[in-house]
Amino acid sequence: MSMEDMNRNEEIIEAAPTEGAKHSITRRAFLHTSILGVSGIALASCTRGILDRNEIEVTHRTFRLPNLPPAWEGKTITFLSDIHSGPFMDLEDLKRVVKIANDLKSDLILMPGDFVTSHTSELPPLLEAMSELRAPMGVYACTGNHDYYAGVDDVSRAVEDINMKLLRNDNARLTIDGQPLYLIGVDDDDAKDVASYVEGHAAGHIEAAYRDVPENAASILMCHKPYHFEAFAKTNVGLMLSGHTHGGQIVLGRIGSTVMAFSTIASNFVEGIYLPRESKSQTQMYVSRGIGVVGLPIRINCPPEIMQITLARAA
């Protein structure tokens, strides 16, 4: 992947990008043996996919938030999604992820869901590794669809037993010198209710998530799936952080900012920065390529990603 490709979306928002840094994750023996069974172009594609899967790209962006208090100017957030502890993400891999995240020394860590892949038996290595995550202002998260597959209440209790604060249709008011920033977390299974909420109908889960958040407050929303971005933008949240799509995981190519991947069948939002088209809201959304994989243990043209966000005040 060329440096031009790695920074393909940097010009869309006011940003201060730096060169992407890549960090290797352990390659497992079964992947090497599986490669032996393919040939020709398929061999080349799979090899590239395995290399992409095993290299985490650290990206940096500055987001300008409406109504951001002066005390929050320049504060940093580490954003990582879709860990997927399981058959393709073992304890050694998880510890490497934690080390990369901690080395960024951000003020805050945000994680919008999919901690495990399919079963609560995948929790022990996740908990052992993630218990070492550190940020001065805390580690906050919301649930993803795979957490529901495994048993969302069990997964939620487990991650809350370590150093994470899980926001399940809830919010947290963080302050610096008395100046607040609101974090909002929506449960994956309840995100669809936002359509009713913005139309003025009863939507208890979304109402709970936004309760006591002032209308003009600086705010960041965590919602695992990006599908309902246009509706969330109408709530005027400053920044929405999502994952779920893995950036396409297997990307056949790109035309401008359009990603050619099978995941586009399910979502118009695959990776990178998005702005609303249906409203004049200033809401921005970033969709992470995530860390883990699902289905196939490969990524093609789509390396995993950890992002460090720097907050700035909107003009």
pLDDT in tens, 215-240: 999 999 999 999 999 999 999 999 99
| 264 band by pLDDT with thresholds 50, 70 and 90 | confident
- Mean pLDDT is lowest, of 3-12, 18-27, 294-303, for 3-12
Q: What is the pTM of this model?
A: 0.85
Q: Which of 3.40.50.300, 3.40.710.10, 3.60.21.10, 2.40.160.60 would CATH assign to domain 3-313?
A: 3.60.21.10
Looking at residue 39, its pLDDT comes to 32
In the chain, domain spans: 3-313
Q: Give the C-alpha separation, 56 to 21, whole Å.
A: 8
